[in-house]
Amino acid sequence: QVQLVESGGGLVQPGGSLRLSCAASGFSLEYFAIAWFRQAPGKEREVVSCINSSDDSTYYADSAQGRFTISRNNAKNTVYLQMNSLKPEDTAVYYCATDMTRDMSIATLFFGNLEVWGQGTLVTVSS
């Protein structure tokens, strides 16, 4: 069974850091692009970041650029999202997903129906 499981969310103070994990089972994520999304209460889901598999190229939303880093550990079959300098507006449920292709186009990232989603992990940034 193809599955993604997120972990690492929690409560953190503004300016703090968290590292989210997206662990895959049933497939080797080293061969697939993995994206992170988030959805804040009362808001639509938005793209955060993506890492492709052919060359580990990455994409970051403007809100994540310079503060978040996406990476993969193929030996652990896991993709990470390191989040630094967190702000209250980063509060959301964070999801990882894949369309089961090697490289995800921007069009797919923003408008596609990704095939596999995790259950999400809640990040709360508050003092």
pLDDT tens digit string along 29-51?
A: 999 999 999 999 999 999 999 99
Report residue 13's pLDDT band, with 50, 70 and 90 as the boundaries: very high
Q: Cα separations (Å) of 121 from 10, 34, 56? A: 8, 16, 24
Q: Count the residues in the chain.
A: 127
Residue 95: its pLDDT value, please? Answer: 98
Q: Are 121 and 7 in contact (CB under 8 A)?
A: yes
User: Given CA atoms 48, 95, 34, 21 in this order, what sign does their dihedral have?
Assistant: positive
